[in-house]
Amino acid sequence: MRKRKNKKQRQARTYLLLSLLLIGGLVLGTYYNHQSRTVSNSYIVDETVKLSSGANVYDSLSAMKKTNTKFNPEVTYKVNRYYLTGKDGNEVYARFNYDGHNYFVQSTDISIAMTNAINKYIAQAGYPHAKIEQQISPRFTQQKYKTASGKPRGVIIHDTGNENSTISSEISYMEKNYTATRVFVHTFIDARQILNIADTKYMAEGAGPRANPSFIQFEMPHEYTATTFANQLANAAYYTAYNLKQNNLPVIKGNKDGGGTVWTHAMVSNYLGGTDHQDPVSYWSASAQKLFGTSYTINDFIVLVQAYYNQM
């Protein structure tokens, strides 16, 4: 009888120990779910930034441990990498180096120092942008993206190449001639408007067979004043950042290996093939020189996209 009693006692102790371990695991799991960040993607950058006053800075991204180091919001720091974190990669943290150590800060708590004159102009205006309007046309074929995820993997930038055209006239031409040309984009962007005419859940047909199955695409009619050109670039950067964020994609310039998320039509022609257009290179460079006395390239645009992306 005594032996049987000891066996029952041992079983009770075992059940108690297992229960405590289970409860402890749940508590620790809850703690780490709140205190740590799972990195879904990261990418290298080279940016100079300022921290906002009262920004939370961390010694470790994995443990989310706040640092005791003090930072001056008037001093600039070098960001060298961004991390997409959280359940869906919808939180963005920047890594910067100070005094030989890496620190981490949420992207909403930094402001990028702009070196390009047009980007400075947009930053000083408070990064304005139009709202995305929907005017979906029934004319265009809806085909699923041919990516592993079934979602777009980036954005392609076009300019119309037509002087003095408007969004209205460009859409009218695209709709009337679609049966013959099989060409359309998702969205048109000018200084005042971001007009979505095709569902971005489906592919467009504006950049050739090697790019169409993978990218959201937008067109820019030409602008002719400094203010309207800058506002158009601001709208374009916002739209690009918005779509990247919606699809949990990083801000990375397209490259020769086919990677990256932000592409010009020219880069598609040069790197992917299947098309020979070189837009918007000439439009951007000529307009920037004439209206601002500066240059403007995809590298400048990438920085502007990141600035909008950081605010989202």
Q: Domain of 122: which CATH number?
A: 3.40.80.10
Domains held by the chain: number: 2
CB 155 within 8 A of CB 243: yes
- Model pLDDT, residue 224: 98
Asked if pLDDT for residue 7 goes beyond 70, the answer is no
**Phi and psi dihedrals of 28, rounded to 5?**
-65, -40
Number of Cβ within 10 Å of residue 51's Cβ equals: 22
Find the mean pLDDT for residues 218-237.
98
Domain boundary among 112, 128, 158: 112
Round to whole Å and give the CA distance between 292 and 226. 7
Specify the amino acid at residue 133: E
In a domain, 20, yes or no: no
Asked if pLDDT for residue 4 goes beyond 50, the answer is no
In a domain, 14, yes or no: no
In a domain, 11, yes or no: no
Q: Are residues 78 and 129 in the same domain?
A: no
- Model pLDDT, residue 11: 54
In a domain, 31, yes or no: no
What string of DSSP letters covers 159-213? E---TT--HHHHHHHHHHTHHHH--B-SEEE-SS-EEE-S-TTS--BSS-TTTTT
Q: Are residues 88 and 124 in the same domain?
A: no
For residue 104, what is the domain's CATH number?
Answer: 2.30.30
303 — pLDDT class (breaks 50, 70, 90): very high
Higher pLDDT, 6 or 52: 52
In a domain, 4, yes or no: no
- Model pLDDT, residue 273: 98
CB 63 within 8 A of CB 36: yes
- Model pLDDT, residue 220: 98
Range of the domain at 281: 117-311
Q: Are residues 255 and 154 in the same domain?
A: yes
**Which tokens in the block code for residue 156?**
């392609």
Asked if pLDDT for residue 70 goes beyond 80, the answer is yes
Domain boundary among 83, 112, 141: 112
Higher pLDDT, 36 or 177: 177
CB 38 within 8 A of CB 86: yes
Find the mean pLDDT for residues 84-112.
94
Q: Are residues 100 and 180 in the same domain?
A: no
Domain boundary among 112, 141, 159: 112
- Model pLDDT, residue 86: 85
Asked if pLDDT for residue 148 goes beyond 70, the answer is yes
For 263-298, write each residue's pLDDT tens digit.
Answer: 999 999 999 999 999 999 999 999 999 999 999 999
24 — pLDDT class (breaks 50, 70, 90): very low
Number of Cβ within 10 Å of residue 302's Cβ equals: 20
What string of DSSP letters covers 252-309? -B--TTS--SEEEHHHIIIII-S----TTHHHHHHHHHHHHSS---HHHHHHHHHHHH
The CA dihedral of 135, 139, 143, 145, to the nearest 10 degrees, is -40
Higher pLDDT, 31 or 80: 80
Q: Are residues 174 and 299 in the same domain?
A: yes
Average pLDDT, rounded, for the chain:
91
Q: Are residues 67 and 199 in the same domain?
A: no
For 37-53, write each residue's pLDDT tens digit.
Answer: 678 899 999 999 999 99
Find the mean pLDDT for residues 161-185.
97
Find the mean pLDDT for residues 108-124.
98
SS3 94: strand
Q: Are residues 108 and 168 in the same domain?
A: no
Q: Are residues 74 and 143 in the same domain?
A: no
- Model pLDDT, residue 13: 56
Asked if pLDDT for residue 29 goes beyond 90, the answer is no
Strands 262-264 and 155-159, bridge-based pairing:
parallel
Round to whole Å and give the CA distance between 143 and 149. 14
In a domain, 1, yes or no: no
Q: Are residues 164 and 299 in the same domain?
A: yes
Q: Are residues 67 and 155 in the same domain?
A: no
Find the mean pLDDT for residues 154-170.
98
Q: Give me the sign of the Cα torsion angle 202, 204, 210, 214.
A: negative
Q: Are residues 202 and 131 in the same domain?
A: yes
In a domain, 261, yes or no: yes
- Model pLDDT, residue 37: 65
Q: Are residues 80 and 183 in the same domain?
A: no
In a domain, 21, yes or no: no
10 — pLDDT class (breaks 50, 70, 90): low
Asked if pLDDT for residue 119 goes beyond 90, the answer is yes
Of 18-22, 53-57, 270-274, the range with the lowest mean pLDDT is 18-22
